[in-house]
Amino acid sequence: MSLANLTQYESIGINRPYNLADGHAHQRQNDSQMQIVQTLPTLFVSAETAVQKDLETEFQDLFFCVSGQESARFLPNVLPCYSASLTIDLIATYLGSRKIRTMLIEPCFDNLALLLKRRRVDVLPVSEDQLVSPGLEDSLRHNQIGALFLCTPNNPTGFSISEAGFRSIATLCARLGVILIIDFTFRFFARENRYDHYKVLQECAVSYLTIEDTGKTFPTLDLKVSLFSSSDDLFPDIYELHNDILLNVSPFILRLMIEYLKDAQAEGLQATIWGLIDRNRAALRHALRHSVLVPANSETHVSVEWLVISDMSLSGQAVVALLHNADIGLLPGAPFYWNNPDHGERYVRVALMRDPDLFGAACDRLADALQKNGMVIQ
């Protein structure tokens, strides 16, 4: 039986000993992060007396500095949210209330499509290939699209858009009066196509909304901050929507995330994030080398591995059910294809932001379960 959405599969995974399902940052603290944890009481007390605006300004500056977004460090139209999903829901409310027909990237994490539909947005799919093809203009015009919603880098595929490609999409949207919406929540994993997105957005004078997040990156037990930015023309309406939902993100969480960002700035992204991903990806690929689960993209750097099932008789659903029996949680591919689930039938996704020892043990168990169930290449 298939479940209603990916979060329900993640809920199963989170209670399994070997949870490789959700894409949240579940790795243990490294040495310098551990030092932050040891100062938690001090951080809490200092947050009590801090001025909210000062914390928000410092957080925004550091977040965009560490992520190479110089042009956004002091942008005025940036609103903190509790989570990326809340930011997406506010966007969905905005689009739905104005009946703006939206094209959304496919595949992507299914809650993007689900939130849009729940807010009654008329939503059509656009593939990664179509996004960077000359046919995009015709497609936007023909379907009378008012907003284009993409993720770069994308979850689960790792697809990302080059600076030239991004500029041409932003220019096209500006010319057609289409709002460009970008989910950047996986941005810290990008190693190629790293450029100042906000500079391009401003130079192209496009109407835009963006989603940023710390939740996929830093191991803060789901204490996280999402940033919701908009172009000047959209900001007054967005500000009002945001006011309906929240006054402020907890000053303690902002204070905590400032410390994690300072640490990432001092130690570098290789030491903080990329090394762990490389190590776990290599362990997974080694464990799967004789199996029917094959990396879909050998070059990807994002924090998840997207695997194709080479045995045509097996679905992602069947592989996930079987691995649940071996206490391993992972995600089936079909729900990522929120409009054409059949296209994702033969994929599964494994999350990599995990403690390497636990991940290594999960890989051994995975290899063993695949072997016992005949999911190996003869």
Ligand X SMILES: Cc1ncc(COP(=O)(O)O)c(C=O)c1O
Residue closer to ligand X, measured from CB, 185 or 280: 185
Residue closer to ligand X, measured from CB, 77 or 210: 210
Give dist(CA 225, CA 83) in Å, integer.
Answer: 6
Per CB under 6 A, 155 contacts ligand X:
yes
Residues 233-272 that bind ligand X (CB under 6 A): none
Task: Label residue 42 exposed, middle or buried (CB < 10 Å: 0-12, 13-18, 19+).
Answer: exposed
Q: Which region among 34-42, 91-99, 178-186, 264-272 touches ligand X (by CB under 6 A)?
A: 178-186
Residue closer to ligand X, measured from CB, 78 or 225: 225
Residue closer to ligand X, measured from CB, 174 or 186: 186
Question: Which tokens belong to 299?
Answer: 């070059």
Residue closer to ligand X, measured from CB, 9 or 359: 9
Residues 336-375 that bind ligand X (CB under 6 A): none
- The minimum distance between CB 112 and ligand X, in angstroms, equals 6
Of 83, 139, 193, 373, the residue at the interface with ligand X (CB under 6 A) is 83
> SS3 of 356, please?
helix
Q: Which region among 130-138, 182-190, 319-327, 350-358 touches ligand X (by CB under 6 A)?
A: 182-190
CA distances from residue 122 to 110, 140, 216, 313, 373 in whole angstroms, order as listed:
15, 14, 28, 35, 43
CA angle 212, 214, 216 (to 5 degrees): 105
Q: How many residues bind ligand X (CB under 6 A)?
A: 12
Q: Which region among 26-34, 183-191, 283-291, 367-375 touches ligand X (by CB under 6 A)?
A: 183-191
Per CB under 6 A, 183 contacts ligand X:
yes
Of 85, 214, 230, 272, the residue at the interface with ligand X (CB under 6 A) is 85
Q: Which region among 26-34, 79-87, 259-267, 281-289 touches ligand X (by CB under 6 A)?
A: 79-87
Of 21, 47, 72, 84, the residue at the interface with ligand X (CB under 6 A) is 84
**Contact indicator for 104, 113 with CB cutoff of 8 Å:** yes
Per CB under 6 A, 151 contacts ligand X:
yes
Question: Which tokens belong to 108?
Answer: 């992507």
Residue closer to ligand X, measured from CB, 113 or 369: 113
- The minimum distance between CB 183 and ligand X, in angstroms, equals 5
Residues 186-205 that bind ligand X (CB under 6 A): 186
Per CB under 6 A, 96 contacts ligand X:
no
Residue closer to ligand X, measured from CB, 154 or 291: 154
Give dist(CA 32, CA 56) in Å, integer.
Answer: 23
Per CB under 6 A, 27 contacts ligand X:
no
Question: How would you classify the pairing of strands 179-183 and 208-213?
Answer: parallel
Give dist(CA 329, CA 17) in Å, integer.
Answer: 8
**Contact indicator for 367, 287 with CB cutoff of 8 Å:** yes
Per CB under 6 A, 128 contacts ligand X:
no
Per CB under 6 A, 23 contacts ligand X:
yes
Per CB under 6 A, 5 contacts ligand X:
no
Q: What is the DSSP letter of 376?
A: B
CA distances from residue 264 to 184, 193, 323 in whole angstroms, order as listed:
18, 20, 35
Q: Which region among 30-38, 83-91, 229-237, 353-361 touches ligand X (by CB under 6 A)?
A: 83-91
CA distances from residue 328 to 11, 14, 45, 149, 284 in whole angstroms, order as listed:
12, 10, 40, 33, 13
Give the sign of the dihedral formed by CA 130, CA 134, CA 138, CA 140: positive
User: What φ, ψ does residue 44 adopt, rounded to 5°?
Assistant: -60, -50
Provide the binding-site residues for ligand X, judged by CB under 6 A: 23, 83-85, 109, 111, 151, 155, 183, 185-186, 215
